[in-house]
Amino acid sequence: MPVKKHNFSAGPSILPEYTFERCSQAVLELNEMGLSLLEISHRSDEFVDILNQTKELIKELLDVPSSHEILFIQGGASMQFCMIPYNLLPVNGKCGFVDTGTWSSKAIKEAKIFGETHVLASSDDKNYSYVPKEYNIPENLDFLHITTNNTIYGTQLKDLPKTDVTLIADMSSDIFSKPVDVSKYGLIYAGAQKNIGPSGITLVIIRKDLLGKTGRTIPSMLDYQNYIDKESMFNTPPTFAIYAMLQTLKWLKEEGGVPAMELRNETKADLLYSEIERNQMFDGVSEVEDRSLMNVTFRLKEEYKELETAFLKHCERRLISGIKGHRSVGGFRASIYNAMNIKSVMALVHCMEEFEKANN
């Protein structure tokens, strides 16, 4: 095996070696069938089995109730920003959003094309460093959209808003990182490229009774009902991405499932946040109570600001990759998704300690 880097990339991001090894093999030959995974028909028994296994495993790992359907859709979370109002916002309906960053804002922009869109709360005033908690939710909304984890800012929703309005959640960057009560949501969606698999596939979990009520004519490829009726095979799905998703979920199950991931993620986050607090040179970016367990944002204190490049270089020498912060926040961001081993977090903590000793 090659010397691996500690990959703190925000997405596409680290996946288990288990996934890499099995995908690499399947690209040469799948299941000793004399064909590559990439060249088999999506209607072949082998692929249909892969798709069904993936669905069943998601159902099992997230305890998805029978009221909900599991769909695989191309186009990323960004495509969901338009599919959600297309399918769930009636003509003359109303929807609400909590604006917790770039991705919420993009979802709001698309919803406005389709109808009346209310931003109920926003943390824009402090560059999205916290999650708004006190706000009024009108009862007549057709849905309320939230983003459970904000990859760029390093904040995470800890408590669901209390409401009877249908909840829609973008869980792109924290799905499978901790248990979630699927029955509380009308729709959950997640671009795969954090905890699920490579880019090119989006998981959607939808409560079936919500559909068919908008009065809109929906193009086939944007119509959730079509994905339900054709079991995500109306046309050719991204077969490789689905196979990779299956491997990642198999690994997750072998590691103990979602509760084991939660423990593991809390341990990693604790380790890193403790070092950020202890270390004289660094500060956290987001409010302590809203800190994300997936994306840890931090920066050098004002007096050390000019050492930013030096710290990045130091990290690079220690084989630490992908910790430069997003341009809209600056500083550093360590994404510590499910697949990241605690040893990589320890390597980063050690790096921060070394840097403090050398410069403080």
Catalytic residues: 103, 170, 194
3-class DSSP state of 57: helix
Size of the chain, expressed as the number of residues it contains: 360
**Residue 308: both structure tokens together:** 């930013």
For the chain, give percent helix, strand, coil, nearest 5.
Answer: 40, 15, 40
Nearer to a second copy, 20 or 273 (CB): 20
Per CB under 8 A, which region of 220-228, 262-270, 280-288, 351-359 contacts a second copy?
A: 220-228
Task: Give strand pairing partners of 97.
Answer: 119, 145
Minimum gap (Å) between residue 359 Cβ and a second copy: 26
Pick one of 3, 139, 215, 229: the residue that binds a second copy (CB under 8 A).
3
String of contacts with a second copy for each residue 226-265, x by CB under 8 A: --------xxxxxxxx--x---------------------
40 binds a second copy (CB under 8 A): yes
User: Nearest Cα to 142, choosing from 164, 159, 171, 175?
Assistant: 164
Would you say 135 or 234 has its CB closer to a second copy?
A: 234
Residues 97-116 touching a second copy, rule: CB under 8 A, are 106, 109-110, 113
**Is residue 89 part of the contact set for a second copy (CB under 8 A)?**
no
Q: How far is the CB of 24 from a second copy (least distance, A)?
A: 4
Work out whether 74 is an interface residue with a second copy (CB under 8 A).
Answer: yes
The phi and psi torsions of 158 (rounded to 5 degrees) equal: -95, -35
**By the 8 A CB rule, do 315 and 8 touch?**
no
Q: Which is nearer to a second copy, 93 or 237 (CB)?
A: 237
| N-term to C-term CA, the chain | 38
Cβ atoms of residues 311 and 332 within 8 Å = yes
Cβ atoms of 97 and 118 within 8 Å: the answer is: yes
For the bound state, the minimum distance from the C-beta of residue 247 to a second copy, rounded and expressed in Å, comes to: 11
Q: For residues 177-216, which are near a second copy according to CB under 8 A?
A: 191, 193, 197-201
DSSP 266-298: HHHHHHHHHHHHH-TTEEESS-GGGB-SSEEEE
Using CB under 8 A, list all residues that contact a second copy: 1-5, 7, 9-15, 19-21, 23-25, 27-29, 32-36, 38-42, 44, 74-79, 81-82, 86, 106, 109-110, 113, 191, 193, 197-201, 217, 219-222, 234-241, 244, 319, 321-322
